[in-house]
Structure 1
Amino acid sequence: MVFINVGLSKCYWNQYFAAISVNLLSLSYGCVYSWTSASYVYLLEDSRQFETGVLTKEQLGWVTAAAFPGSFVGALFFGWLADKIGRKRCLLLAALPMLTHWLIIPFARNPFQLAVARFFAGTAGGCCFTVIPVYITELAQDRLRSTLGMIFALNLGAGILLINILGYFMHYITVAWILIVIPLAFLVCFSFNPESPQYLAQHNKEKAERSLRYYRGISSSGDANEEFQQELSRLCKSEEEKPGKPQLCWHDFTTRKARKAYLIGLGLVLANQFNGSLAMQNYMTFIFAEAGSNLPPMLSAIIVSAIQLTGTCSSTHFVERAGRKTLLLISISGIFLGESAMASYYFLTSKGYDTSMFNWLPIASFSLIQFSANSGILSVIFPVIAELTPPKIRSTVVRVQMITMFLLASVITKIFPYLTVTLGMPGTLFICAGFSFAFIVFIAIFVPETKGKTIEAIQDSL
């Protein structure tokens, strides 16, 4: 589900293969993320599958939410494990709970069993968000780093679209059997890739050089060019500067660069959650209905998923051309405009003004919000956070940032409906638009451009 230019040179091919194969896991998690929405017709209406009868909306809510604590546990456990046994073995292990999820679903006979399946898949999702960005950052060349990092978000979006399409045509049990193929394909394809050079440099310099040669497409020492020799020298030098200090210490997190990188990353995580685009997805059916749309809810979900994937594809295409900061600014500005327009429409409608000639505006604004969000703020932040964080503490800091994101997602998903009841849809959307404007200012002032820079140059700019 990714787009690659034909004729990739050998030095790029191995990096693309690694990024694509590892993100088969994120493709599977994208399917998990929207599984309940794609299957809700059967879960709420088909009484033959469960001993307890059809699921109530409350039970469906608990089944859906079970993935969030799983993601929290997965981010903690797999983020820690990646530093102990390596990125590659950690990611291969994460495929097991993902396989367990798809295997439990066909045999589940009550909501608790479905919730257990979702919890297992959530742990694999926590691994995706914490370990994959680190792994990609550590193996990629500077000129490819963000493009390869964007495949993560691209496959998440592709998974969401895939599950909605399959759910529209097939029973959720049939879909589960089909989707077992994805984590199995991940295990087969990803096993061919070596560990990341940076992780190996901490333990075995000879293996680190072999890994770097593989990812740069250099088969023998005679083929090594000056750029490779400089990169290898920087990699080994960065590790040699830490003799006798393999363990992290508090000072590593309190340096000026570490503090600034963490605060910028935290700001991007807050922008990712508080702009409201993710929470608004729960109101997709309401927005389409209010606008007078007669589309079935599942078809609406497919349309929105396609819009989201298109936005992510555009960011993948332009991330190395326009730059990360530019994409983030365009993205959050588009969200601000869409939310402002939608809030104004609902506000004027609530005040009794005739807005019938503008009943297309909610759908258009919602589409703009989702396209803009997926073209930047929901996709670009993952490689940017990994790029900004000093290599020694990268795994730990990314883990903390992703755990923060999961906690915020859980809270915002719960309070968003209460805000719409208390403040109304116009008031809630105006608040989201206000946050979006604040994040425009934050990104413009504090987020550095990382396009085309080495990790060392990025660190020097902080």
Structure 2
Amino acid sequence: MIASTSVTWSSPILVKLNGTDDNPLGYIISKTENSFLASINILGAIIGSIIFGLLGTKYGRKSLLLFLGLPSLIFYLVMAWSEVMWLLLVSRFIIGLSLGGIFTILPIYCGEISEAKNRGILSASMTVFVNIGMLIPYALGPFMPYFWFHIVLAAISAIYILLFYFVAPESPYHLIKTDEDAARDVMMKIRNKDDVPYLLKEMKDNLKHNNSNTDSFRSKAFRRTLIIGFGGFTFQQLTGTVIVATYSQTIFEDAGSSIPPELGPILVAVAQLIMTIFVSAITDRYPRKYLLTLSHLLVSLVQIPFGAYFYMKQHDCDVSNIGWLPLACLMVYVCVYNIGVGPVLITFLGELFPPKVKALAISSMVTYNWTGAFLLTTLFNTLKDSVGIGVLFWIFSASGFISVIFINSFMIETKGKTLEQIQIELNS
């Protein structure tokens, strides 16, 4: 939740920094500064996912996730008092480091502490909290003073650190490498006690089977998983989700509808949150591939009228009678996106890789994903000026139809399978 606040931070704050009423810098920032402030946290996430992917092979998941709460606590406080651009950029970059680290370690942690029968629910629940975090800047940013907005974000980070320290267990998959008794104690708390001896034996056998990183990297399972991971994240980025999250308020201002631009992102984020709560309750009832296919298909369909509105507006057609269309399309977009594209890929991340290389492999996936997000965020204003929002979202729509072919050609079904069973299938 705290990580995702930095994703949508720019939507309300860039509006403030492009005015003079509540601008701590004292001047209206340039387009270049706009782009860097919006994207530099993603640059940090790219580096953070590499660093913490490497650290994830050595240190406990819980320890790393606790540490990763500190940058948001410290640097949201720094931003509250900042009056110079360079300090905002540094703060955004360091918060981005924790963003990349959290999105690298958290899928591993969720996959390792959950049972096969409820792994999808836990991963979808993680998406719920991601969306709560994204909603906070939308809901508070436009209506709170710049200073107090950042104080609230820092306070949320402090609450997370305290709760996670006292409530969350360490991953048994990490503990079993050095302390089988500690792993057994955790398993007795989070699993059926009668199943614990069998599960511990299965975990140890899996670690022995993947007795070196070299063997794991050379395995057929690893190669197949790379194709699934890189392909899945390529098509996820080509849904345009990072642009919708980062530039929502700007998009609504460009739409020129009668709906206040600061209200549109809130309505979209609320719809997204409601949908993710609903999906978290049903996600383990349906196959992962089915949800992912359906989600990509519906996202592509809703982007067609959304693009058409902006294309007509760009070519001076009268769109006054359909001013409601951008909001309606984006609300449907975030709902159908969260049926599968959002939560299912996060679930896959925690399921597919063998334990020995999981941290490094997921780090590479997340780094690749954040690199795509950085490029799209940085280039959005250039693309908007050159081809227009309408054509851009039509391109996203076309890529979604292609993704349906990819999903059904390369991805495997993981619903209801243990991590060990998934590795056997990938190697078959």
What TM-score, normalized by structure 1, do the two folds share?
A: 0.85
The answer (yes or no) to whether the contact 1:75–1:403 under 8 Å persists in 2 is yes
Check if 1:278 corresponds to 2:242.
yes
Partners of 2:160 and 2:150 in 1: how far apart? 16
Deviation at 1:321, TM superposition (A): 1.3
Residue 378 of structure 1 aligns to a residue in which SS? helix
Aligned length: 425
Residues 320-373 of structure 1 show CA distances to partners (whole Å, capped at 9, x for unaligned) of 112322221121111111112333455566678776655543332232222212
Deviation at 1:78, TM superposition (A): 1.5
The answer (yes or no) to whether the contact 2:38–2:377 under 8 Å persists in 1 is no
1:284–1:163 Cα change, 3 Å: closer
The answer (yes or no) to whether the contact 2:23–2:146 under 8 Å persists in 1 is no
1:92–1:287 Cα change, 3 Å: closer
Residue 453 of structure 1 aligns to a residue in which SS? coil
Partners of 2:159 and 2:142 in 1: how far apart? 24
Check if 1:188 corresponds to 2:183.
no
Match of residue 410 from structure 1: 374
Check if 1:143 corresponds to 2:107.
no
Residues 229-251 of structure 1 show CA distances to partners (whole Å, capped at 9, x for unaligned) of 22122112223446xx4x522x3
Partners of 1:356 and 1:295 in 2: how far apart? 12
The answer (yes or no) to whether the contact 1:328–1:377 under 8 Å persists in 2 is yes
Instruction: Identify the range of structure 1 (273-282 vs 29-38) with the bigger mean alpha-carbon deviation.
Output: 273-282
Q: Return the match for 2:335 from 351, 371, 376.
A: 371
1:204–1:428 Cα change, 3 Å: same
Aligned ranges 1:387-398 → 2 under 5 Å: 387-398=351-362
Match of residue 7 from structure 1: none
Deviation at 1:187, TM superposition (A): 2.1
1:162–1:133 Cα change, 3 Å: same
Residue 303 of structure 1 aligns to a residue in which SS? helix
Match of residue 99 from structure 2: 125
| Gap regions ≥5 residues in structure 1 | 1-26, 219-223
Aligned ranges 1:257-406 → 2 under 5 Å: 257-281=221-245, 284-285=248-249, 288=252, 293-346=257-310, 358-406=322-370
Match of residue 248 from structure 1: 213
The answer (yes or no) to whether the contact 1:312–1:376 under 8 Å persists in 2 is no
Deviation at 1:41, TM superposition (A): 4.0
Give the AA of the match of 2:95: A
The answer (yes or no) to whether the contact 1:279–1:416 under 8 Å persists in 2 is yes
| Gap regions ≥5 residues in structure 2 | none
Q: Return the match for 1:214 from 167, 189, 192.
A: 189
Deviation at 1:406, TM superposition (A): 0.6
Match of residue 66 from structure 1: 40
Partners of 1:119 and 1:286 in 2: how far apart? 22
1:37–1:388 Cα change, 3 Å: same
The answer (yes or no) to whether the contact 2:35–2:378 under 8 Å persists in 1 is no
Give the AA of the match of 1:210: D
Residue 18 of structure 2 aligns to a residue in which SS? helix
Residues 142-191 of structure 1 show CA distances to partners (whole Å, capped at 9, x for unaligned) of 11111111222211110111222122331121122222222222222222
Percentage of matched positions with identical amino acids: 27
Partners of 1:177 and 1:283 in 2: how far apart? 23
Instruction: Identify the range of structure 1 (153-162 vs 344-353) with the bigger mean alpha-carbon deviation.
Output: 344-353
- The root-mean-square deviation of aligned C-alpha atoms, in Å, is 2.5
Instruction: Identify the range of structure 1 (442-451 vs 35-44) with the bigger mean alpha-carbon deviation.
Output: 35-44
Q: Return the match for 1:109 from 61, 76, 83.
A: 83
Give the AA of the match of 1:261: T
Deviation at 1:388, TM superposition (A): 1.6
1:347–1:28 Cα change, 3 Å: closer
Partners of 1:183 and 1:426 in 2: how far apart? 37
Give the AA of the match of 1:162: I
1:321–1:139 Cα change, 3 Å: same
Check if 1:80 corresponds to 2:44.
no
1:428–1:61 Cα change, 3 Å: closer
Give the AA of the match of 1:168: P
Give the AA of the match of 1:313: I
Higher relative contact order (CA 8 A, sep 6+): 2
What TM-score, normalized by structure 2, do the two folds share?
A: 0.91
1:314–1:278 Cα change, 3 Å: farther
1:350–1:120 Cα change, 3 Å: closer
Partners of 1:296 and 1:351 in 2: how far apart? 23
